[in-house]
Every structure is written in structure tokens, then in C-alpha cells.
Structure 1
Amino acid sequence: MRRTEHWFEPARFGLFVHWGPWARAGWEASWPLVGGVVTLPLGQDIPAATYHANAAGWQPDPAAPEAWVAAAAAAGMRYAVLTTRHHDGYALWPSRHGDHGVAKGAPGVDIVAAFVAACRRHGLKIGFYYSLPDWHHPDYPAFTDAMRPYVFGGYQAATPEQWARYQAYVRGQITELLSDYGPIDMIWFDGAWERSAELWDTVGLERLIRQLQPDILINDRLPGQGDFATPEQFVPPEPPATPWETCLTMNMSWGFNAGDDRYKSPAALVHTLCEVAGRGGNLLLNIGPDGAGRIPAPQAERMAEFARWMGRHGEAIIGTKAGLKPWQFPGPTTCKGNTLYCHLLMQPVAPVSVRGVPVQHLKQVSVLGHDGPLPFETRIPVLDELMHVDGPGEVVIDVPEALRDPVATVLVLEFDCDPARIAPATES
């Protein structure tokens, strides 16, 4: 049994939280420090000294994680991942390794502890994001304006002595995160592109992590290791061969970017969740709270729409596996046991067809969230019908307008066998 089968693959939906001192200024997370990056077109370009000075005096509210996690639970999410330390090096827990974070800037505050407690209260699995680079740490070395423009794969090398100290720092912080907060379900690395797997000693890091948390999941951004793939800002047309999770922003930014109003519509985000689940993956949807820890209004509105939609349709997402092939239905499909869920992402203008399914084993069709069955017709080749062949056929369903959801309607087809089974063409 894969590690991911226990809870990760059935979860299908999680919350990503990017929060740090950048939110106080309304900047994108970390990247303004190095002059921005092309993949975040609405990010800023902030001198290094100005960027780091913004962290001074920031008092993150330890009550904030409760609101984030409560919203996640209401939206049907099953796990949450917090940026414990992003590339800018600011630690949201009182680390005993390094002095850039709440230990010095906000004594007595531990956002990681508050996040963990909120997740446990609401029954969500717990994930920690941790950046392998630290653009503030002197031994990394720290990024300076003289190092601009930032070049992927071209970050300044550390001396052997610096690198030994930096490795001890990283291992010390990871040990804290995986020792001081009880069982942790996931560690989500990032930033490995700046060094080789050998320099990061990914084999040694993986060994340390498994010693501290034997049941933890590790993402694939610890090069050569990891339990699941992490396509970013993109839904792959074909699912990866391994368990996977798409991480996605609601707008164009990960952090609270005051100038970014380019939001995906609530319907588009729900459709993305359906498409990801229909390919057998997870959606890790991001929020970027403001400096006070509040979820921005456009993001709160989208979380509320997920709460509405998932309240009625969650069973078609959570605990499902990928359904039919794309040619069999004009939309994503998911399966759970002998039940097939067909996700209508467009309002139908004609009866809907589900093709290549074992129609003689179909017992009932309904609209998820509504009582009572729907009438349906089945079609099979004439000769198969005359010869009583138990083969694949087509189901035709008329979906009444009164039963349609304004965002995405889900049809439920209940069989007495695996709905993805295509029976061999043999005589009965």
C-alpha cells in the first residue's frame, strides 16, 4: 500500500496558506526581494534592505489560523499546508536556529502551534511548507541587490564552511517542526532548483524526516525523493504516473498582493476541483491572508462558494477515484465503489449521454443533492440486444432545468458492478 493511499489520495481537496511579513506591506511572497519573477507578473521589485525592514515590528495574530482552518473545513477541504518559512527566511515559529522570525520579532507568538491546534480542532490533516533556500541567512548566503538580476540555477555558491553551517541550520529547523508539534502528516518542500540534490543531501534529509515522523508524506520537491508530484498553477492534461496534487492560486499571486484583482471566477475554481478529481489528483487551493491575518474578501467569497457547492456535492469529490475515459462523457467523472459521478460543467442544451458503460447493470440515475430518481434510456448495438450480450452501451439522461446547479451539476449513476468495467463481447 502506498503511503498516499491512507489519507492523501481520498482527500482530494486541501488549503494552501501563504502568510508572512510580506502581507503587512501588500507584497507578493519573497520574490520582490530578488526583483520579482516572470511567473508572478503582478509582483513587486523591492530593495533587499527595504524588504527585510518590513518584517520589523510585525505582530502576527495567533488567532488568525482558526479562521483559515474553519473556512477550509466548511469548504470541504481535508488538509491544510502552512508556509512555516518561505524563501525570505522568516520563521513563523520560535525557532532556536536562526534569528529571523517570530522568536525575535514577536516574542511569545507561535503561528505554527496555532495552525496545528486549529487543524486538529477541525479534523484536518496537517502540512508544513518549508523552503530549502533562505535568502536572508548569511551562510546561504543572503541575497543582496548586487546579485540582481536573479538567475535560476545561478545563485551564488556558499563556501564549504558556510554550507556546513547552513545544512545544520536547515536540519535543526526541520527537526523542530517535526518534533515539537506532535504528529505531522505532510512536509512540502520548495526551492530546490538553487542547489543540486547532492548539495541538499536529499537522501540524508529524507532519512531524518522518516526517523522523526515515520508516517509523514514528502512532496517531490525534495529532489529524488517524495511521495507525490506537485504540478503548479496547471492541471495536467494526462495525470502523472504517481499520486499528485495541483497547487493553485485564486488570483495571480501566492501572498496577499494588494494590487492583484485578477481573480478566477468561483465557477472556474469549482470546475478545476472537478477536473482534478476526475483525473485522480488533489487540488491544493491557496489563500493569502492580509497582514492582520484576515482572508481577503474576494478569497472569502470563493471559499464560501466552495462551502455551498461541496455541501451538496462533496461525496462526488472526497474519497473518489478517477472515473471514465474522456470520450465517454463530456466532463469529468469520478467513481466510488459501484457509483459513477458525472460532473456537468456546462448547462446541457440536449439530453446527456454516458457511453461505454455496462448499461445492463445500471440500477438508478439521480441528481446529487436531490431526492428521487431520474428517468433514463439505454442503448446497445441491435445485435447485442438480440443475442443477449452483456456489453457496453450508452445511457441517455434528460436533466431537468429545475434540478441543475448554477455552477456544476453532478449526475449519480448507480450500478451493481464497477461502472468503468467494459464487459467482453461474449454470449450469455
Structure 2
Amino acid sequence: MFDRNAYEKRVEWYQHDRFGMFIHWGLYAIPARGEWVRSTEELTIEDYEPFFNEFDPVDYDPKKWACLAKEAGMKYAVLTAKHHDGFCLFDSKLTDYKCTNTKAGRDLVREYLDAFRAEGIKVGLYYSLIDWHHPDFPHYGDWHHPMRNHPECSNENRDFDRYLTYMHGQVRELCENYGKIDVMWFDFSYGEMTGEKWKATELVNMVRSLQPDIILDNRLEVSGEGFGSLATENPNVYSGDFVSPEQIIPPNGLIDNLGRPLVWEACVTMNNNWGYNAKDKNFKPAPMLIKKLVECVSKGGNLLLNVGPDAKGNIPDESVQILKEIGAWMKKNSESIVGCTKSDLPKPENGRITQNGNTIYYHVMENSIGFVPLYGIEKDRVKRMRLLSDGSELKIAQYWTVGNYPDIAFVELSATPHLPDEVDTVVKIEY
């Protein structure tokens, strides 16, 4: 039976923190053509093996990653402990296909966890339900396996239960051997590979017994486009704790079938790939990502923004610069993100609104001629109004040019044609 009170308590910190860093990193950083390279190019294990032998991230310093995430205003992070290629960034006792058997020679997950915890950032691990390296995972005819089109790689003598024992065992290792884990991000279900095909109830019960406060995504049940039973009155044991729309921000936020707000997180790449792609320079500009973060919170959701470090362990310069720009805005305006959620006020024409209790954060993203209208703000209820970035007093305009619109509060934000912050000027309004 679903315990909604326990659930709401479990996700409280997550709905407060709002902004996280996704980190996709593994052997695929060496071919540098994205994390799906083995599948898209139908590479055999032998084709892929040189990358295992070569893997030596000499510049890997998770302390730098953690400092960058903190500077950007991120409150939690999720690292790929194992992606679809089956390579483990942790010292699993259940496989030789792991970082400790490469030139790296050490447990990279443990170093990540230590570094991010030291900066006060909550820690999460991504674990792929799919495994293209394990001999018992379906090969021929699978939707995604590199050998899906190769009848010589038949599934005869492959034992999926044996794979599940391996998969469950690795998840147990992550839950038992690495201290408190705040998020476990499973990825993903498809076709008949969903729910109890993964022995999902057994898996989730095991995870929650070892990590009672952990929160889970919904992908034991669905893929990136699905909501799953979490959107119903009686979620399954393995429904997870949040919906995980991928590469999209829901147009109107998300609600369940009873009209209650759903907990959700949009996971988004900075360019067009999750894993490192040397030729992909199609990076989203920082101003756009700032606005998308605001949009997520204004709709009651989180943003998990991805970085894909290169083969040496460096986050790309473009991503570093973007995160620093986001951080400069967050340094002055994070109060309008962290601890906030959507408002009962409708989206205004010139921006967005986030809210924390009786405090409204009006995000002005479009300037006006003359005074700026604050749509939906009731003048008689305004106790105090300040420019969030510097705390300076703002007053409701009383002037002949706005006299014809007594139901709209106007404010002067600048004596020039430019907003104080051209990306997003935040007005803090206390009712």
C-alpha cells in the first residue's frame, strides 16, 4: 500500500533543492561520439575493447567538478556508475569490467561521492538496467543491443535470471558499500523490458531496506517519455518518486490523475549528447538555460543539467563557462529557485513567477516602455518589494501613464531602456 505521507517526507529535500548536475562519463568518452556509440555503430565487444585498455583519466579531479557544481548553484548531482555499455566506474566484485582494472586503477565513484559530499552537495548514482557487455543480456532482436541485427549472436543459452542476479547484486553493492546515497537513477524500460521483467518489486524493496531515505526515478516502469503509475492514485512499489521527462520541459507542469502536482525533474543536455562528443559544439547559451531552470521551478519541477567529461576527466570548456554564467546569476538570485515552487498566479506575459510561501518572485524577462507591469500582483496585498539581486527598494508606480490600469501593479526597474539583468531581473514581493 502506497504511503503518501512517507513519500512526501522523502521527496521534501528534492523539491526544495531544484537544481542538479547530471554527469555522463565512461569508456565512450574515448571514441568521443556519444554514450550510445556502441549501439549506434553496432560495435562488437572486440571493437570496443581498446577503449577499456586505454582508459586512463589522468586529469580526473572530482573536487573540481564539485566546486563547479556548487558555484553554479547546484544542490545535488548524479553520476553514471554504470551506463548501457556495462563498464563500471566503481569497484564491483561481480565483474572485471570496471575502472579498477584499467590504467585508472582506482574507484572513481567513491572519489566522486567523497568530493561532492565534502561540498555539501547531495549525491546520486545512475545505474543502467541495460548491459551490452554481459553475456546473459539479450543480444539478437533486442531493441538496442549492438548485436541486435546479428543472428549469429542468438540468445540461446543466455540466462536472463542470471543477469538479474548480477544486476541486483551490483545495485546492492552501491547501496551497501558507499554510505548514504540520496538518489538512485535507474535507466530505462522499453518494450517487454519493464517492471517485473527486472524483478522490480524485489529490487526496490532491497534498495529501500538498505537506503531508507533514497529517492528513485520512474524508469523501472517507463522510459524518458512515460509517467508510469506514479501518476495514478495507487502507484506500484517500483513506480519511483519522480517523473523524469528527458530533453523536454512539460508544457504545463505535471499532475496525477486526481489533479495533484507530480514530482518531476527535466533532464537536459547542454549540447546534443549526454556523453562526451568532441564534434558536438551545439551548446545551449547560459541565458537560455537560466530561463529554463526558472521555467522548471515555475511549473513545480527540477532541472538536472548534464555535463559529459572527456576521456581525461575534464568537463568541456564550453560547459564550464556556461555553468559559471549560471552561477553568477544564481549567486544573486538563487533565493528565487531554491525552496521555491510554482505559484497560483498565472504565467505573466513578460516572464515567469516562482513562489515560497507568501513571497513571490516575479522573473521579468522582457522589458517595457516606461514602467514594467507586474501582472497578477494585487497592489493592496504588497507588504514589501525589493530587487532580489541587491535588495534595493522598489515601489509601486503612481503616475499618470499607468492611471488607466488600476488593477495592475507597475514598477520602475531601470532609468534606461535596459533591465538591471537582461536575462532575468527578479522582483521579490512579500505579501
Give the TM bin, normalised by the shorter chain.
Answer: 0.7 to 0.9
- 2:17 maps to a residue whose letter is A
| Contact map agreement 1:17 1:82 (CA 8 A) in 2 | yes
Q: Work out the CA distance in 1 between the residues paired with 2:348 and 2:290.
A: 21
Matched, 1:221 2:219: yes
Instruction: Please name the residue that 1:288 is paired with.
Output: 308
Q: Work out the CA distance in 1 between the residues paired with 2:154 and 2:207.
A: 26
Instruction: Please name the residue that 1:102 is paired with.
Output: 99
Matched, 1:413 2:429: yes
- 1:251-290 correspondence runs (5 A): 251-290=271-310
1:202 to partner: Cα distance: 1.0
Matched, 1:34 2:39: yes
Describe the SS at the equivalent of 2:384: strand
Deviates further, 7-16 or 335-344:
335-344
Q: Work out the CA distance in 2 between the residues paired with 1:148 and 1:142.
A: 9
Q: Work out the CA distance in 2 between the residues paired with 1:158 and 1:218.
A: 31
1:159 to partner: Cα distance: 6.1
| Contact map agreement 1:60 1:111 (CA 8 A) in 2 | no
Report the count of equivalent residues.
Answer: 390
Describe the SS at the equivalent of 1:342: strand
Structure 2 residue corresponding to 1:136, chosen from 133, 142, 154: 133
Q: Work out the CA distance in 1 between the residues paired with 2:331 and 2:174.
A: 33
Instruction: Please name the residue that 1:189 is paired with.
Output: 186
Deviates further, 131-140 or 345-354:
345-354
- 1:88-237 correspondence runs (5 A): 88-106=85-103, 108-141=105-138, 146-148=147-149, 162-193=159-190, 195-223=193-221, 224=236, 225-237=239-251
Instruction: Please name the residue that 1:15 is paired with.
Output: 21
| Contact map agreement 1:34 1:148 (CA 8 A) in 2 | no
Q: Work out the CA distance in 1 between the residues paired with 2:129 and 2:146.
A: 21
| Contact map agreement 2:182 2:214 (CA 8 A) in 1 | yes
- 1:13 maps to a residue whose letter is F
1:377 to partner: Cα distance: 3.6
| Contact map agreement 1:229 1:243 (CA 8 A) in 2 | yes
Q: Work out the CA distance in 2 between the residues paired with 1:161 and 1:27.
A: 30
Sequence identity (%): 35
- 2:149 maps to a residue whose letter is R
Q: For the structure 1 residues 327 and 314, does the alpha-carbon distance in structure 2 shift closer, same or farther, using more than 3 Å as the test?
A: closer
Q: Work out the CA distance in 2 between the residues paired with 1:202 and 1:108.
A: 33
Matched, 1:395 2:409: yes
1:218 to partner: Cα distance: 0.6
| Contact map agreement 1:367 1:403 (CA 8 A) in 2 | no
- 1:236-255 correspondence runs (5 A): 236-241=250-255, 242-255=262-275
- 1:22-61 correspondence runs (5 A): 22-29=28-35, 31-35=36-40, 46=43, 48-61=45-58
| Contact map agreement 1:3 1:217 (CA 8 A) in 2 | no
Q: Work out the CA distance in 1 between the residues paired with 2:156 and 2:194.
A: 15
Gaps of 5+ in 2: 222-235, 256-261
| Contact map agreement 1:62 1:114 (CA 8 A) in 2 | no
1:62 to partner: Cα distance: 8.1
Q: Work out the CA distance in 1 between the residues paired with 2:74 and 2:293.
A: 11
Describe the SS at the equivalent of 1:173: helix
1:222 to partner: Cα distance: 1.5
Instruction: Please name the residue that 2:258 is paired with.
Output: none
| Contact map agreement 2:11 2:241 (CA 8 A) in 1 | no
Q: Work out the CA distance in 2 between the residues paired with 1:341 and 1:240.
A: 21
Q: Work out the CA distance in 2 between the residues paired with 1:58 and 1:160.
A: 31
- 2:253 maps to a residue whose letter is P
Describe the SS at the equivalent of 2:54: coil
Instruction: Please name the residue that 1:356 is paired with.
Output: 376
Q: For the structure 1 residues 316 and 102, does the alpha-carbon distance in structure 2 shift closer, same or farther, using more than 3 Å as the test?
A: same
Describe the SS at the equivalent of 1:334: strand
1:403 to partner: Cα distance: 5.8
Cα RMSD of the aligned pairs, angstroms, is 2.5
Deviation per residue, 1:274-313 (Å, 9 max, x gap): 1111111100000001111111111110011011010011
Q: Work out the CA distance in 2 between the residues paired with 1:7 and 1:191.
A: 24
1:350 to partner: Cα distance: 4.2
1:398 to partner: Cα distance: 2.2
TM-score when scaled to structure 1? 0.85
Q: For the structure 1 residues 18 and 92, does the alpha-carbon distance in structure 2 shift closer, same or farther, using more than 3 Å as the test?
A: same
- 2:23 maps to a residue whose letter is V
Q: Work out the CA distance in 1 between the residues paired with 2:129 and 2:398.
A: 56
Q: Work out the CA distance in 2 between the residues paired with 1:192 and 1:61.
A: 34
Q: Work out the CA distance in 2 between the residues paired with 1:346 and 1:160.
A: 63
1:371 to partner: Cα distance: 3.5
Describe the SS at the equivalent of 2:297: helix
Instruction: Please name the residue that 2:224 is paired with.
Output: none
TM-score when scaled to structure 2? 0.84
Q: For the structure 1 residues 148 and 369, does the alpha-carbon distance in structure 2 shift closer, same or farther, using more than 3 Å as the test?
A: same
1:345 to partner: Cα distance: 2.2
Deviation per residue, 1:252-274 (Å, 9 max, x gap): 01011001011111111111011
| Contact map agreement 2:138 2:158 (CA 8 A) in 1 | no
